[in-house]
Amino acid sequence: MLPLTTQKRSQKLDAMRRRNLAKFAIGFTSFGGLLWLLFFVIYGDLIAALATGFASAPAWIALVLFLTGRTRLARYLWLITMPLTFLVTTVFFGTDINPELIFLAIIGFPFLFFSWDTERRALTLLTVYQFALALIALSFDRLGDPAWFPVPPPETLVDPATIDWGVRMTVLAVLLLELTYFAFLTQKSARETEQALEDAEAAARSRGEFLANMSHEIRTPMNGLIGMIEVLETMDEDKRHERSIGMIRNSAFSLLRILDDILDASQIDAGKLSVEKTKVELRPLLEGAAQTLQTQADTLGVRLRMLVDPTLPEWIWSDSGRLRQVLLNLLSNAVKYSSERLTGHIGTVYFRTAYCPEGTDICIEISDNGTGMSPEVLNTLFQPFAEGELASRRQVGGTGLGLSITRSLIELMDGRITVDSTEGKGTVVKVYLPLEPADGPKNQPDLTGLTILCFDLMDEEMRKGMREIMGGGGAQLQFISHIEELDTDVLDPDNPPIFMVPTADETQSAHMQEAVLNRWPDAKIVCFSASRSARYGMQNDNVYLIQIFPMMGTELYRALAQLGGLLKTEDDPAPIDPAADTGKDQLDPDWSPHLLVVEDNEINRMVLSKQLELLDYEHSVTENGLAGLAAWSSGDFDLVLTDCHMPQMDGFELTKAIRQHEQQEDMPPIPIIAITANALKGEAEKCLAHGMDDYMAKPVELETLRNKLEKHLRMVQNSKHLQGKHLQ
């Protein structure tokens, strides 16, 4: 549906064109009637002249009304009275006048002058009216002469055959002129459309440039904000400000997500949104999306529950970034509209991924018990800026672009999406994607031979899911209600079972663990917890703790495989501490790489310098490309971090100058990593095409910076070893 203002402009333009066409038709009809009147007057046939004046009078009066601005009255007068006067004239002259005279009136057919959108009733009535009069006039040869007419037909001085021929020629001339003028208007409209299209394309290009600039301008201060937040996190040793810093961090990334939605929407409009298929490990991608939303779910009082069919391929061909974007958009909506403050109860979001029953596509289903949607909202759900019910929308917020972008991405991946929702009960979203399996290393443990005894503390949905997970891994699953059900003598000492205690109630869990260990001191137990601060993994030699809401299938498999002796027993790696980790793992401890930073923005220089200090990298900072080139030429650097858009000499020109000098002097190429605030599609490819080795979009997170530096510095270190150089 067109916006109201656009619709009004369109209707106004349509009415103007119809008035012009009606004025043109009336003008030529009036001119034709005037010529016939002059002909009869000159010939001396006054009776025919009077008849012509009578028949042409409506056209002349309508022309005067048009010229005085009363166009609506002029149209009604002409289209009602003119065919009637022609009919009367035809009947009056009887067989002396050919009934085709009525076509002079039909030329003003109302479809040309009335709009179906705004004048539907008038158009219908006048069409029926003109058809009826034309039917009478054109039926003379069937009905015979109208002898019933009270006045006998007069005798004319002009030969009736001549009049008949003249009427035919007049009708032909007026019709051809009107059609020619109508074609002229059509061509004019086409030219206007082409011009409007060119203007729209120019506006789209300008908007693209504006969005690119906006992205750069917003990401530059955001880089400073997020970078300094990470610095504060490392300095907050007693964690007194952890909650406040976390809120600032989440707000900053929410703002970035809004910006990304706007940029993606602009790419959809320009037809430039694309996907690039690569080999992707499926389960970590799905579980990573759920983990990203768990903090938001906890805050809103929503429980996330996920199930990934263990028979799905471990590796697929897909665009991991775009698929993750789809999952985050759908999961985020489900969580937000299932929040406790909107529904009045604990929300639940189910996240299931499995093969479609009817084919080989993979079905991703996200269902919730949230507010649901009315049929009116469902009808506009995937339109840009469409959101949920008004009351919910005010509390949830958002750009209104997420679902529109999501559907576009799914269609680009040759998939489809369906939504079924009941207001007040919840929503079910299903995404069907043809995700082709790919070859890759097998990371999912084989649980064949394990026997699992699970305490029956779950609802039917969780029981069904647990059966699928265990069955897919090859393990045997048995549910028990009480520890007393088991007989020590029945248990196979060569194949001891692993117990699962699926409850988040710590008191209940501890009681059951104690009961199990009292009977079987060497029993292996998998426990569950919903606490986000718990230390997950091996608690001791017998107990493995995993999280729920959501529970990760890969984590459960790892726990069972480790307890069952299928993996080496080792503690899970400790989380990375940015303050303690130097960022130089696997690098020679005696080597201190020297980095060159080229950045024109003062805030970004401070942030990047502080981040490099935290990672314990020696570095020098310059303010533009010229200064950076001079520093590189006179110094001994192992890696360059450069902004792309700078005055005097930008990052692309700096890279070109460095690469040319390296070729001339036969020097090994130094790694150059671009750090830019332009996050539009194609920027990474542009950086690589100009000779850079890698790309990071602002804001740069500490962990991302650490990984990039480690990757390229390891290659520098290996290269120096191969050259036999002594590492300083």
pLDDT in tens, 511-529: 888 888 888 888 899 999 8
What is the rounded average pLDDT of the residues 336-358? 90
Q: Are residues 107 and 213 in the same domain?
A: no
Triad 160, 162, 165: Cα angle to 5°: 110
Asked if 680 and 215 touch (Cβ cutoff 8 Å), the reply is yes
Residue 471 in this model has a pLDDT that exceeds 90: no
pLDDT confidence of residue 156: 57
Q: Are residues 303 and 233 in the same domain?
A: no
684 confidence band (pLDDT: 50, 70, 90)? confident
Tell me the C-alpha distance between 502 and 314, whole Å: 26
Instruction: Check residue 724 and give left, alpha or beta (phi > 0: left; psi -120 to 50: alpha).
Output: left
Dihedral (CA of 335, 338, 341, 345) sign = negative
Beta bridge partners of 526: 500, 544
2 confidence band (pLDDT: 50, 70, 90)? very low
Asked if 77 and 84 touch (Cβ cutoff 8 Å), the reply is no
Main-chain phi, psi angles of 688, to 5 degrees: -65, -35
Tell me the C-alpha distance between 541 and 33, whole Å: 109
Q: Are residues 95 and 26 in the same domain?
A: yes
272 confidence band (pLDDT: 50, 70, 90)? low
- State how many domains the chain has: 4
What is the rounded average pLDDT of the residues 144-160? 54
Of 613 and 26, more confident: 613
pLDDT confidence of residue 493: 59
126 confidence band (pLDDT: 50, 70, 90)? confident
Q: What percent of the chain has pLDDT over 70?
A: 73
Q: 268, 563, 251: which is closest to 410 by C-alpha?
A: 268
Tell me the C-alpha distance between 236 and 122, whole Å: 77
Residue 508 in this model has a pLDDT that exceeds 60: yes
Q: 410, 407, 417, 419: which is closest to 383 by C-alpha?
A: 407
Which of 133, 158, 183 lies at the terminal end of a domain, its last residue?
158
Residue 153 in this model has a pLDDT that exceeds 80: no
pLDDT confidence of residue 462: 82
Which of 433, 465, 494 lies at the terminal end of a domain, its last residue?
433
Q: Are residues 109 and 234 in the same domain?
A: no
Asked, for residue 462, whether it belongs to a domain, the answer is yes
pLDDT confidence of residue 574: 39
What is the rounded average pLDDT of the residues 677-690? 73
Which of 398, 433, 468 lies at the terminal end of a domain, its last residue?
433
Could you read off the pLDDT of 553-583 as tens digits, one per residue?
889 999 999 898 887 544 444 333 433 343 4
Asked, for residue 721, whether it belongs to a domain, the answer is yes
Q: Which own/partner contact pairs does 268-276 have at CB distance under 8 Å and 24+ positions apart?
A: 268/404, 268/405, 268/408, 269/204, 270/204, 270/208, 272/681, 273/405, 273/408, 273/409, 273/412, 273/681, 274/412, 274/681, 275/318, 275/319, 275/322, 275/409, 275/412, 275/413, 276/319
Tell me the C-alpha distance between 621 and 543, whole Å: 51
pLDDT confidence of residue 556: 92
Q: Are residues 645 and 517 in the same domain?
A: no
Residue 242 in this model has a pLDDT that exceeds 80: no
Q: What percent of the chain has pLDDT over 90?
A: 18
Asked, for residue 149, whether it belongs to a domain, the answer is yes
CA–chain centroid gap for 705, Å, is: 29
Least confidently predicted of 180-194, 238-252, 280-294, 391-405: 391-405
Tell me the C-alpha distance between 193 and 197, whole Å: 6
Could you read off the pLDDT of 376-413 as tens digits, one per residue?
888 878 775 554 444 444 444 454 566 888 888 898 89
pLDDT confidence of residue 391: 46
Written as one string, the DSSP assignment of 602-670 is HHHHHHHHHHHHHTT-EEEEESSHHHHHHHHHHS--SEEEE-SS-SSS-HHHHHHHHHHHHHHHTPPPP
- SS3 of 493, please? coil
Task: Report the first-to-last Cα separation within the chain, whole angstroms.
Answer: 69
Residue 429 in this model has a pLDDT that exceeds 80: yes
Q: Are residues 240 and 306 in the same domain?
A: no
Least confidently predicted of 136-140, 231-235, 257-261, 391-395: 391-395
Least confidently predicted of 218-222, 440-444, 535-539: 218-222
pLDDT confidence of residue 583: 41
CA–chain centroid gap for 391, Å, is: 24
**Residue located via tokens 């996920």:** 306
Asked if 292 and 251 touch (Cβ cutoff 8 Å), the reply is no
What is the rounded average pLDDT of the residues 182-191? 77
728 confidence band (pLDDT: 50, 70, 90)? very low
Asked, for residue 263, whether it belongs to a domain, the answer is no
Tell me the C-alpha distance between 410 and 74, whole Å: 55
What is the rounded average pLDDT of the residues 214-234? 71
Least confidently predicted of 268-272, 500-504, 572-576, 692-696: 572-576
Residue 4 in this model has a pLDDT that exceeds 60: no
Asked, for residue 54, whether it belongs to a domain, the answer is yes
Tell me the C-alpha distance between 377 and 174, whole Å: 52
Residue 474 in this model has a pLDDT that exceeds 80: yes
Residue 353 in this model has a pLDDT that exceeds 50: yes
Task: Starting at the earlier edge strand, list the strands of the sheet with 672-676.
Answer: 618-622, 594-598, 639-642, 672-676, 694-697
Q: Are residues 385 and 460 in the same domain?
A: no
Q: Are residues 463 and 428 in the same domain?
A: no
Domain enclosing residue 30, as ranges? 15-158
Q: 408, 421, 119: which is closest to 275 by C-alpha?
A: 408
Residue 669 in this model has a pLDDT that exceeds 70: yes
Q: Are residues 549 and 591 in the same domain?
A: no
304 confidence band (pLDDT: 50, 70, 90)? very high
Could you read off the pLDDT of 590-620 as tens digits, one per residue?
788 999 999 988 878 888 888 898 888 999 9
pLDDT confidence of residue 576: 37
Instruction: Return the CATH number at 491.
Output: 3.40.50.2300
Q: Which helix (H) or strand (E) holds 695?
A: strand 694-697
Q: Which helix (H) or strand (E) holds 357?
A: none
Q: Are residues 426 and 282 in the same domain?
A: yes
Residue 121 half-sphere exposure, CB side, CA atoms within 13 Å?
0
pLDDT confidence of residue 367: 95
Dihedral (CA of 463, 469, 472, 475) sign = negative
Report the predicted TM-score, pTM, of the whole model to 2 decimal places. Answer: 0.55
Q: 101, 109, 167: which is closest to 138 by C-alpha?
A: 101
Tell me the C-alpha distance between 469 and 308, whole Å: 8
pLDDT confidence of residue 325: 83
pLDDT confidence of residue 92: 63
Asked, for residue 270, whether it belongs to a domain, the answer is no
User: How confident is the prediction for the chain on average, in pLDDT?
Assistant: 78
Q: Are residues 354 and 241 in the same domain?
A: no
Asked, for residue 302, whether it belongs to a domain, the answer is yes
Of 431 and 256, more confident: 431
pLDDT confidence of residue 578: 37
Q: Are residues 548 and 458 in the same domain?
A: yes
Residue 369 in this model has a pLDDT that exceeds 90: yes
Of 27 and 419, more confident: 419
Three-state helix/strand/coil letters over 28-39: HHHHHHHHHHHH
* 293: its two tokens: 């939303």
Written as one string, the DSSP assignment of 273-329 is -----EEEEHHHHHHHHHHHHHHHHHHHTEEEEEEE-TTS-SEEEE-HHHHHHHHHH
Of 211 and 149, more confident: 211
359 burial class (0-12, 13-18, 19+ CB within 10 angstroms)? exposed
Triad 37, 38, 41: Cα angle to 5°: 85
Residue 95 in this model has a pLDDT that exceeds 70: no
Those residues whose C-beta lies under 8 Å from the C-beta of residue 221, and which sit 6 or more positions away, are 603
Asked if 499 and 453 touch (Cβ cutoff 8 Å), the reply is yes
Instruction: Return the CATH number at 312.
Output: 3.30.565.10
Asked, for residue 402, whether it belongs to a domain, the answer is yes
